[in-house]
Structure 1
């Protein structure tokens, strides 16, 4: 039961980490906004909650001296996968910190495109600002506070990784994988090759077309007649 719970936690952590990585790639781009920063904050906090729960489960299991050899090997594989997720999460958090610092949301910018909107400032503001944009303006320091919180969370994840290595000594190079690297890709490629080969064999060994057979027979007869005529001409000359 503990192993299944660890697998479920790791699966959720892997999805959260992948989602966070995808969101980090859009920071500073055309899709960057406060909505994105809020989603980044929620996703990384969810990933950290899952990481804390998974670490507790794996640490308790691997420190159990009554654990069998097969069960221990499985938990060690889960531990290595968990460590990899944490490393990726920390790297993406550092990338988000660098990008968020380089591209602040509410920095004063000179408008590069004139929209053609004219009128008094009060009228333009009333038409342009919605309830959501007004809330974002009121929370103008959101990105600054979030970056400070992100710095603290990066330190927490780093400390978590160090504590893991101290409490449970599972060197990654000692854990054996169940299958060779790229086995899934090789298996799918072999399936495609076999299917293509089967189709080609069927095409070669399929029923003969009567029209093609007749054309081949006529061509052979004409070729033999030409060869015989050439021999006769050579003898007469």
Structure 2
């Protein structure tokens, strides 16, 4: 049951990480918006929750010394896949931080034209505290706070990876895959096999009778050419 739970958590983490990667690619583009930034935050939090749960399950399983060899090898493969997900998640979070800093959605408003109109402090405050101004300030606060939160979460994901390395001694280069390289591409393998078959068919030994006929024809043709040359010399 523990292995199945780890697989289910890892599958959910893979999907959340892939979704986050897809969303990060649109930051700073024409599809960038406040809704996108909020969706990025939700997906990032979901991925981190799944990462914490998956890491706890794998750590508990791999620290069990009574586990069988085959079962431990399977958990080690899951751990390698989980470690790769963490690396990708951290890289995308750093990319999101860089893009979010370079392409802020909202910038502080600066008056470009001074009309010379002045008023009391109460009137100016009343005009400033309109619904639109409050919404704009809230959106600006969201951008600033989210980037600060993202910085802290990047450090947390890096610390999680480091803690996993310290608690579980599973060097990645010692883990063997269950399938050979390229085994997950059956269509390509099938196409290659078909190509080999067609080549073998083209290079198969030819029929013996056809080979003899071709040799006799070549000999007769050479004799005819030699005879023509002799006749031309004698004439």
> What residue in structure 1 maps to residue 34 of structure 2?
34
Alignment of 1:189-228 (within 5 A): 189-198=188-197, 227=225
Alignment of 1:98-113 (within 5 A): 98-107=98-107
Instruction: Give, in angstroms, the shift of residue 137 of structure 1.
Output: 3.8
TM-score, normalised via structure 2 length: 0.72
Q: Once superposed, which parts of structure 1, at least 4 consecutive aligned residues long, lie more than 6 Å away?
A: 133-136, 200-205, 223-226
> What residue in structure 2 maps to residue 71 of structure 1?
71
Report if aligned partners of 1:34, 1:136 keep a CA contact under 8 Å in 2: no
Aligned equivalents of 2:231 and 2:94: distance in 1? 90
TM-score, normalised via structure 1 length: 0.71
Instruction: Give, in angstroms, the shift of residue 70 of structure 1.
Output: 0.8
Residues 196 and 107 (structure 1), Cα distance of their counterparts in 2 relative to 1, 3 Å cut? same
What is the root-mean-square deviation of aligned Cα atoms in Å?
3.4
> What residue in structure 2 maps to residue 54 of structure 1?
54
> What residue in structure 2 maps to residue 139 of structure 1?
138
Q: 2:232 aligns with which of 225, 228, 234?
A: 234
Residues 75 and 204 (structure 1), Cα distance of their counterparts in 2 relative to 1, 3 Å cut? closer
> What residue in structure 2 maps to residue 23 of structure 1?
23
Number of aligned residue pairs: 202
Instruction: Give, in angstroms, the shift of residue 201 of structure 1.
Output: 6.6
Instruction: Give, in angstroms, the shift of residue 230 of structure 1.
Output: 2.8
Aligned equivalents of 1:200 and 1:167: distance in 2? 53
Structure 1 unaligned regions, length at least 5? 111-132, 206-219
Aligned equivalents of 1:197 and 1:226: distance in 2? 42
Query: Which secondary structure does the structure 2 equivalent of 1:183 belong to?
Result: coil
Instruction: Give, in angstroms, the shift of residue 190 of structure 1.
Output: 3.8
